[in-house]
Amino acid sequence: MQNTLLLTLLLPTLAVLAVYLTGKKSAKAAGMLVALIAVADIALLSTTVPIVLNGAEHMYVESYYWIPVLGSSFTLFVDGVSLSMAIITLILILAAALFSVNYMQEKKGLAEYYALLTLLSIGLVGVFITSNLMLFYFCWELMLVPSYFIIGGWGYKEPYRAAFKFFIFTHAGAVFVLLGIGAIFMVTGNLDMFQAQTALMTAQPDLVKWILMSLTAGFAVKMAVVPVHMWLPDAHSEAPAPMSALLSGVIIGAGAYAILRVSLGTVFPAVMATDFGNQFLHGLAVFGVISAFFGSLIALVENDIKRIIAYSSIAHMGYVLFGLSLFPFQEAMAGTVLHLVNHAVSKGLFFLSAGAVMKQLEIRDIREMGGLAGRMPVTATASTTAALSIAGVPPFACFISEFLIFVGAFQTINSDNFYLPPTALMLVATVLSLAYALRYTRHIFLGPA
């Protein structure tokens, strides 16, 4: 089919109103409809897999005529990285919709909730499958609006406070992204990522540095890297569990994807051979180590069931940022992308199982829990599996991707001694991950009830 990717975006766009009207009659039917749309989108994207795997360029592209003055067409594409991210996003949307049917049934205004969830899926998938920077920015901002209303409308204690904090931080980050995109258009006269990459190679290096730093700073806010992480613990802990799964699973992952695709993929090659290029990558490594330690240490002493998982997200974005700093080593990049996918699945499962515990007990402090393994065996199994994966225990998912990142790090050490201390520190951070994962499991599922 020639218009597969366009249909992937149009299907949920056209379905938003249908989901809302269905929700007015039956919230359960609306949830099922959102799940059905996600399944249809997964099926559409799956048809591009043979082309991505076996094609000469390992990429599937659709190009449509658009505003001529912008110097580039309306282009949608998937390669191995964006296809993986788009499919895992839709799997999490599917899981969140199905989980919401029972989890959210006592809440009001569910027609709006499911319509917003559909709207969120458009923004998320759009970010991963477009190479046009204007469309990318539109989808980047589109993620923000439904997220704000879902956190504020169906959150816990102070939902609108957490939602407003999330909105302000991520919108401030988006300003830097917009400045970077505007500068790329000013320098190259083009808004296509791949064409702009070639054009930037002949641009003035000093200007390219500022574009790179502006874009990376904006994406780092969405990624919740220390020190621009302050929105994340409140937003994750106040949001309803299905939204927390999406926030931690793919919304912060979108920030990491954007750094890989736009900062490193489009802009960085122009300054790669300079001293600044090395300093930039070293800076990413340092912030990665700081984030990994900060997130892990706070998760180790936190007692709120959802804030523990929230801080572990900061830690894991530290691993991802460290992986990105190893650009362009192949094993490290493969490990980083795989870690985004594995973290999305593991963290989605972690938040949903925590939501199940909260719904049953109506408390959040893990010190007041215990012995739930006998009473909630399925939830206990799912939660422990997710915790062990997040801890990087073999043979679970996150261990495989972390292992690949470290293989890339050891390769990089051969050519750059700077990476020796950061790599050693990241290995220590994995031990801290195991510590908070075991503490979480012990307090909630083991011991006396």
The tally of CA atoms less than 13 A away on the side-chain side of residue 404 is: 19
Beta bridge partners of 192: 132
Residue whose token pair is 């530290």: 318
Predicted local distance difference test score (pLDDT) of residue 338: 96
Q: What is the pLDDT along the chain (449 residues), one digit of tens a residue?
A: 578 999 999 999 999 999 999 999 999 999 999 999 999 999 999 999 999 999 888 999 998 877 776 667 788 999 999 999 999 999 999 999 999 999 988 888 899 999 999 999 999 999 999 999 999 999 999 999 999 999 999 988 888 899 999 999 999 999 999 999 999 999 998 888 999 999 999 888 899 999 999 999 999 999 999 999 999 999 988 999 999 999 888 999 999 999 999 999 999 999 998 899 999 999 999 999 999 999 999 999 999 999 999 999 999 999 999 999 999 888 999 999 999 999 999 999 999 999 999 988 888 899 899 889 989 999 999 999 999 999 999 999 999 999 999 999 999 998 889 999 999 999 999 999 999 999 999 999 987 87
Residue 290: name the closest of 191, 391, 106, 421 by CA: 421
Predicted local distance difference test score (pLDDT) of residue 189: 86
Q: Where are the alpha helices (DSSP H) in 224-304?
A: 231-238, 241-246, 252-258, 275-301
Residue whose token pair is 């051969």: 414
Residue 407 CA: distances (Å) to CA of 81, 186, 199, 420: 19, 39, 33, 13
Q: How many CB atoms lie within 10 A of CB 424?
A: 12
Residue 339: name the closest of 353, 318, 354 by CA: 318
Overall residue count recorded for the chain in this entry: 449
CA trace torsion 321, 322, 323, 329 (10° rounding): 120
- Whether cis (ω within 30° of 0) applies to the bond prior to 227 is yes
Predicted local distance difference test score (pLDDT) of residue 342: 96
- Spatial distance between the Cα atoms of 150 and 110, rounded to a whole number of angstroms: 10
Q: Which two tokens stand for residue 424?
A: 């050693």
Predicted local distance difference test score (pLDDT) of residue 71: 62
